[in-house]
Amino acid sequence: MKKVYLDHNATTPVHPEVVKAMLPYFGERFGNPSSVHSFGQEAKRALDEARGVVAAAVGARPDEVVFTGGGTEADNMAVTGVASALCNKGLHIITSQIEHHAVLSTCRHLAGMGYEVTEVPCDANGVVAPQAVRDAVRKDTVLITIMHANNETGSIQPVEEIGRLALERGIVFHTDAVQTLGKLPLDVNAMGVNLMSLSSHKIYGPKGVGALIVRRGTPLVPVIFGGHHERKKRAGTENVSGIVGFAKAVELATRDLEATEAHVLGLRRKLEEGVLSTVPHVRLNGHPTKRLSSTASICFEFIEGESLVLSLDMEGIAVSSGSACTSGSSEPSHVLLAMGVPPATAQGSVRFSLGTENTESGVDYVLEVLPRIVERLRAMSPLYRQSGTCV
Ligand SMILES: *Cc1c(COP(=O)(O)O)cnc(C)c1O
């Protein structure tokens, strides 16, 4: 059976060059970077080199890179770390309704511990207005955390403007850039961020590794205590092989950024235009232009996104309903609801996210299979029959 993977916002296959770069660190270069002997120093050198690569990719200094166990940990560290460090200054945090659960659940956890959290709404395109953030600022606001691009819709957020207003008001600004690394050029200076979360497995690197960029002078209390690793910001023996793989993935993604974007955008346009012109009663979610080239979130009226995902899977096509983190629960996506999509329509959402290994023929295959499946599912849907649109 033909296999077409269209779920790159959930995870990506590890690039063979990344695997090759990692392998020696499972074998002869197994040292602990904290050891003073030659085995340790060899691992330490690899770590330093990786730190330089990741820092350069986002315009930061090497000593501003804190390696973590992925994007979720980086988000937790940023939100909890800043809130704890500044608890004597204020207890108010601003975030948005469309954040990844790694940020949203952390903020809600803090709200249960006495912090106050404002979840700023977004517009119908899934974009958070800087003015809405400005209006939410209070005297006791200590942190603003707004993502760079949304993982479900791909809508790109105006982080530069939010960064400027955070600086004006002297508020620490964090952005989750997990979905934009390797897709948009990133520069912590231009974006005006104090902290930035990154993850390896969304850019053809290994899972369970990422980084939090912490600009010099940013107040941050660790969330993991122990030894003196990562400048005392994140204790625990470093995942050396994972970090080496992450840095290789960053290097390749940065080098190939423009070519990848052009490739993926061409395929996405073909897919979107194909679906919109052959399947009735669909709606495209997210911003029409300010959107990740890889991402198309589409609502199919009268059917469950989950059923469509399962039916497509039986034909070898991998997509997701909502985000990877909410699939399996029957709740409609919090992102689409925040955009004002009615709950019943939001239930019918499917996210297609493309990547480097996708091809024209893969998209052709989806366009051949999908309309047939949608028609079949709708024929079984009482909602569709009642709507009178099925004649
Ligand atoms: C995937 C993702 C995360 C979580 O990263 P992990 O490395 O899987 O923990 C956080 N934020 C966004 C926007 C994501 O897409």
Residues noted as catalytic: 325
Q: Is 102 in the pocket of ligand 1 (CB under 6 A)?
A: yes
What averages of pLDDT result for each successive group of 10 residues across the chain (391 residues)?
A: 96 98 97 97 98 98 98 98 98 98 98 98 98 98 98 98 98 98 98 98 98 98 95 96 98 97 98 97 97 98 95 98 59 95 95 98 98 96 74 42
Please tell me the pTM assigned to this model: 0.96
Pocket test for ligand 1, best of 199, 292, 335, 351 (most atoms within 8 A of CB): 199
DSSP string, 326-383: TTTS-PPPHHHHHTT--HHHHTTEEEEE--TT--HHHHHHHHHHHHHHHHHHHHT-HH
Q: Residue 151: which of 5, 55, 292 has the closest Cα? A: 292
Domains of the chain, earliest start first: 4-12+257-387 (3.90.1150.10), 16-255 (3.40.640.10)
Q: What is the pLDDT of residue 131?
A: 98
Residue 207 CA: which ligand 1 atom is closest? 7
Strands 195-199 and 210-214: antiparallel
Distance 71 CA to ligand 1 centre (A): 5
Q: What is the pLDDT of residue 388?
A: 67
Give the total residue count for the chain: 391
Output the pLDDT for position 386: 78
Q: Which ligand 1 atom lies nearest to the CA of residue 147?
A: 13
Q: Residue 328's pLDDT is what?
A: 54
* Cα 224 to ligand 1 centroid, rounded to whole Å: 19
At residue 331, the pLDDT reads 84
Residue 313 C-alpha from the chain's centroid: 23
What would the two tokens of residue 251 be?
């290097």
